[in-house]
Amino acid sequence: MTAATATTATTATEAAYAQRRGELEEYFDRTASSAWAALTSDAPVGRIRATVRAGRERMRETLLGYLPEDLTGARVLDAGCGTGTFATCLAARGADVVAIDISQTLVDLARQRAEAEGVGPGTIEYRVGDMLDPSLGIFDWVVALDSLIHYPADQLQALIVQLCARTRFGVAFTFVPRTALLSIMHVVGKTFPRGNRSPDIRPITERALRARLGADEAMAGFTCGRSDRVESGFYTSQAMELRRA
């Protein structure tokens, strides 16, 4: 590949990522923001959403299980924090959390909820923007709960690689396993407001994901650790842990 061809490929990849991120911002910030607010609250929900809520709670506990019990003083990124429940859990373990999301609406809600709950003993800094923003700096740990699931395989890989590059110890994230018949797609596709630009889920097999990460030179310093699937009615998602070797 010539230098010119490589530059063109990089530009095309960046443009595709920016477009996808823009679609997701539109969806989570406007189309589905009140649905996410309800799902992530204690408000009564219908049967389908109740299975999703229960599954997501189990998944949050699963990812938390990949992190040290005591995070006092650790700098942790909640990448795609949504309404901020995970960030609050991390702060409760003593972490200094940066909670970032492309949706201003969801970040505002996250901040309000944390204030109402009285966060601590750690802290939470809320940011609106891209989880890959280099100005965020380096973290001890990164978590991404159901926030990478809308990206196609090449973008998912690039996101994971770049999140790993700014992590001292590890990244804990979720993906939607391709084998799942019922997936979080139901949340977006059936129970949530739908529009032309509503984001679909991009499932990937665990095998394909491991192969991609294993073949990526930038991941040489990392090993794939635990991986656990959570299935709860209309929710299916799989956790994966990446640790610096």
Ligand X SMILES: C[S@@+](CC[C@H](N)C(=O)[O-])C[C@H]1O[C@@H](n2cnc3c(N)ncnc32)[C@H](O)[C@@H]1O
Binding site for ligand X (CB under 6 A): 21, 24, 28, 40, 80-83, 85-86, 100-103, 106, 130-131, 145-147
Find the shortest distance in angstroms from Cβ 160 to ligand X.
12
Residue nearest to ligand X (CB): 82
Residue number, 89 or 209, with CB nearest to ligand X: 89
Residue number, 80 or 177, with CB nearest to ligand X: 80
Find the shortest distance in angstroms from Cβ 86 to ligand X.
6
d(CA 21, CA 28): 10
Residue number, 5 or 135, with CB nearest to ligand X: 135
The dihedral region occupied by 223, where left means phi > 0, alpha psi between -120 and 50, and beta the remainder, is: beta
Find the shortest distance in angstroms from Cβ 147 to ligand X.
3
Neighbours of 197 (CB within 10 A): 12
Find the shortest distance in angstroms from Cβ 96 to ligand X.
18
Find the shortest distance in angstroms from Cβ 97 to ligand X.
12
Residues 201 and 21: beta-carbon distance below 8 Å: no
User: Which of 170, 202, 204, 164 shows the shortest CA–CA distance to 17?
Assistant: 202
Find the shortest distance in angstroms from Cβ 236 to ligand X.
13
Residue number, 22 or 121, with CB nearest to ligand X: 22
Residue number, 103 or 227, with CB nearest to ligand X: 103
Residue number, 100 or 230, with CB nearest to ligand X: 100
d(CA 104, CA 108): 6
Neighbours of 154 (CB within 10 A): 12
d(CA 234, CA 64): 22
Residue number, 173 or 214, with CB nearest to ligand X: 173
Find the shortest distance in angstroms from Cβ 2 to ligand X.
30
Residues 218 and 59: beta-carbon distance below 8 Å: no
Q: Which residues pair with 229 in a beta bridge?
A: 238
The SS3 of residue 194 is coil
Q: Which residue has the tokens 């804990």?
A: 172
- CA triplet 203, 205, 208: central angle to 5 degrees? 120
